[in-house]
Amino acid sequence: MTTKEKKFEYKGMMAPTFTPFNPDGSLNLAIIPRYAQLLHDGGVTGVFVNGTNGEGMSLTTAERKLVAEAWAKSRGMAGKVVIQVGGLNLRDSQELARHAVSIGASAIACLPHLYDKPGTIAELVAYCKEVASAAPEIPFLYYHIPFKTGVELPMDKFLEAASLEIPNLAGLKFTSMEVETEGYGCLKAVGGSMTVLNGFDEVMSKSRRVGFHGAIGGCLNFMPLEAGRLLCLSGIADDDGSTCCVPRLERLDEIYRLQNRINTLWDIVRKHCGCSFVSGAKFVMKSLTGVDVGPARKPQQPLSEETEKLLSDERRENNYPY
Ligand SMILES: CC(=O)N[C@@H]([C@@H](O)[C@H](O)[C@H](O)CO)[C@@H](O)CC(=O)C(=O)O
> What is the enclosing helix (H) or strand (E) of 191?
helix 184-192
- The best mutation among 55, 175, 260 to test binding of ligand 1, ranked by most ligand atoms within 8 Å of the C-beta, falls on 175
Q: Is 209 part of a structural domain of the chain?
A: yes
d(CA 199, ligand 1 centre) in Å: 6
What is the count of structural domains for the chain? 1
Ligand 1: nearest atom to the Cα of 51: 21
Please give the ipTM for the structure prediction: 0.97
Cβ–ligand 1 contact at 276 (below 6 Å): no
Q: Is 99 part of a structural domain of the chain?
A: yes
User: Any idea what the CATH number is for the domain that residue 74 is in?
Assistant: 3.20.20.70
Q: Is 42 part of a structural domain of the chain?
A: yes
Residue 43: domain span: 3-241
What value does the mean pLDDT take over residues 221-230? Answer: 96
Upstream peptide bond of 321 is cis (omega within 30 degrees of 0): yes
d(CA 52, ligand 1 centre) in Å: 7
Quick check: 295 and 35 in contact, CB under 8 A?
Answer: no
Q: Is 307 part of a structural domain of the chain?
A: no
Q: Is 321 part of a structural domain of the chain?
A: no
Ligand 1: nearest atom to the Cα of 281: 9
> In angstroms, rounded to a whole number, what is the distance separating the alpha carbons of residues 320 and 115?
39
What value does the mean pLDDT take over residues 107-132? Answer: 97
Residues linked to residue 142 through DSSP beta bridges, in sequence order: 110, 172
Residues linked to residue 81 through DSSP beta bridges, in sequence order: 47
What value does the mean pLDDT take over residues 113-119? Answer: 96
Binding residues for pyruvate: 216
Quick check: 6 and 168 in contact, CB under 8 A?
Answer: yes
Supply the pLDDT for residue 243. 61
pLDDT band, very low/low/confident/very high, at 236 (cuts 50, 70, 90): confident
**Tens-digit pLDDT profile for residues 40-74:** 999 999 999 999 999 999 999 999 999 999 999 99
Q: Is 161 part of a structural domain of the chain?
A: yes
Q: Is 268 part of a structural domain of the chain?
A: no
Please indicate, yes or no, whether the overall pTM of this predicted structure exceeds 0.90.
Answer: yes
Q: Is 177 part of a structural domain of the chain?
A: yes
DSSP designation for 105: -
pLDDT band, very low/low/confident/very high, at 242 (cuts 50, 70, 90): low
